[in-house]
Structure 1
Amino acid sequence: MPLALEIVSPEKLLVSESVDMVVIPASEGDIGVLPEHSRMIVLLRGGEVILYTGEQITARYFVTGGFAEITEERCTVLADTAEPSALLDRAKGETQLQDALRELSDADKAGQVDRLVPLMERVQVAQAIVDTAAAQG
């Protein structure tokens, strides 16, 4: 019994297919979702959504955050942004990471505490882009 998967960004529906398993980057850690999984809604962090058919990876998508709704027969990923991992650009990710680190340092020095958490999240997402692009090759 396959699992229905949808990956949706504000711009479009990226994926609507049946898979045997999907691994999602939940804020608490990666979650493997199989058919008949417990119902839950989880917050996503920046990272990869990995699709499996049998034991083979069939596709990878990078998300920058969002939510996922999991039921016994469906997993719906509502991503802030999403794109195929193969399209990630390591150089662009490294530039984004350096910019985010600089902004984080500037906010910390200026005592702008309210800016620190979003900037730390931005640093984590940029680092995930760099790591994912590097792993792709």
Structure 2
Amino acid sequence: MATAFKFDLVSPERLLVSQDVASVVIPGTEGEMTVMADHAPTMTSIKPGVITVNAATGGAERYVVFGGFADILPEGCTVLAESAVHVDEINREDLARRIQEAREDVADAQDHETRTKAEEFLAQLTTLEGAILPA
């Protein structure tokens, strides 16, 4: 059995999770990463995606996040999300609005770097939409 560690998921509105967990899967900007107890100290930014929290007592919960960063230490992990909600509470209209805003950002981009970042964010959002919303 995996050693438990402290995990906190915080959004500007509220504390969503604060519990001992066996592992957490985080959508890092450099790729998904699984965090377990005694993980090497790391700080990473996160992209829009799903965080999977595997409780120490069994079972898993999933949360949709829209960016932020994770602070990982051997004894725990804290994710400070720009926005976060339980996957069961995701609002289809809110996600559609975010995708439309990202499309507008791509169209309004004034230079190559800005356009590339906007296109990347749009791709992340549409991938997230496909992963969590039924067709």
Q: TM-score, with normalisation over the residues of structure 2?
A: 0.81
CA deviation after TM superposition for structure 1 residue 69, in Å: 0.5
* Aligned counterparts of 2:116 and 2:84: Cα–Cα separation in 1: 22
* Aligned counterparts of 1:35 and 1:52: Cα–Cα separation in 2: 12
Partner of 1:101: 103
Equivalences for 1:7-86 in 2 at 5 Å? 7-53=9-55, 57-86=59-88
Q: Deviations over 1:58-81 (max 9, x none)?
A: 211111111100011101001111
8 Å Cα contact 1:85/1:132 also seen in 2: no
Q: Deviations over 1:8-38 (max 9, x none)?
A: 1112211101110000000011100010111
Q: What stretches of structure 2 of length at least 5 have no aligned partner? A: none
* Aligned counterparts of 1:4 and 1:22: Cα–Cα separation in 2: 10
**Stretches of 4+ moved more than 6 A in 1?**
none
Q: TM-score, with normalisation over the residues of structure 1?
A: 0.80
